[in-house]
Amino acid sequence: MDSFRINKILGLVLGIALFLQTIHLVDAMFLPAKVAKPSSEAAAVKEEQPPAADAQAFDSLLASGSAERGAQVAKQCQICHNVEEGKGPKIGPDLYGVVDRPVASEPGFNYTAALKAKGGKWTFAALNKWLIDPRADVRGTSMTFAGLPREKQRADVIAYLVTLSKNPVPLPKVAGTGQAQ
């Protein structure tokens, strides 16, 4: 009689075990494979660009800028600009003496209202910002030049623009030991 009850209980336990096992199998059959976790690369936010013009870093780059290399790069400017004294405007104003010159001040050139509204002088920092992308710097300018995204090229071009003068503005000194490579 006791063994009969034990059998009953064992049977029940086995039954439950079998039932659970079956559920587990069905589960495995019908549930989709674990959803792949989104890769951390995809989720990572695109790395921020460094600030376009870090004035101090650019100064030291300018200090070691090469007017010779700049003259090469500036050949493309001469499609639109004269670089000699008294040559007057082409598509753009004469760039002779442009460093430290008040913005939009060449007599005989018809500047856009946008550039006239800029104000100030063509300091190194102003030229640097302008040459990255003129149309981003001054919305509505007629200087349809894509810009020089490479900082080193801009430093070289500005070092060259400095030479277009009887009294060249001195380039900044290299600060301390922070010589630009």
Task: Give dist(CA 51, CA 129) in Å, integer.
Answer: 11
Instruction: Examine residue 136 and tell whether it contacts ligand HEC (CB under 6 A).
Output: no
Q: Segment 64-93, which members bind ligand HEC (CB under 6 A)?
A: 74, 76-77, 79-81, 91-93
Is residue 128 a contact point for ligand HEC (CB under 6 A)? Answer: no
Do 113 and 125 meet the contact criterion of CB atoms below 8 Å apart? no
Stretch that binds ligand HEC, among 2-10, 61-69, 138-146, 172-180 (CB under 6 A): 138-146
What is the rounded distance in angstroms from the CA atom of residue 18 to the CA atom of residue 26? 12
CB of 166 to ligand HEC, least distance (A): 17
Regarding 58 and contact with ligand HEC (CB under 6 A), the answer is: no
d(CA 133, CA 147): 4
Neighbour-count burial of 114, counting CB atoms closer than 10 A to its CB (0-12 exposed, 13-18 middle, 19+ buried): middle
Out of 60, 67, 70, 111, the only residue in the binding site for ligand HEC (CB under 6 A) is 111
Taking the C-alpha atoms of residue 145 and residue 109, their distance in angstroms, rounded to an integer, is: 18
The token pair at 68 is 């010779």
On whether the CB atoms of residues 165 and 174 are closer than 8 A, the answer is: no
Taking the complex as a whole, the smallest distance from the CB of residue 154 to ligand HEC amounts, in Å, to: 8
Does 152 interact with ligand HEC (rule: CB under 6 A)?
no
Sites of contact with ligand HEC (CB under 6 A):
74, 76-77, 79-81, 91-93, 95, 98, 103-104, 106, 111-112, 114-115, 122, 131, 141-145, 148, 157
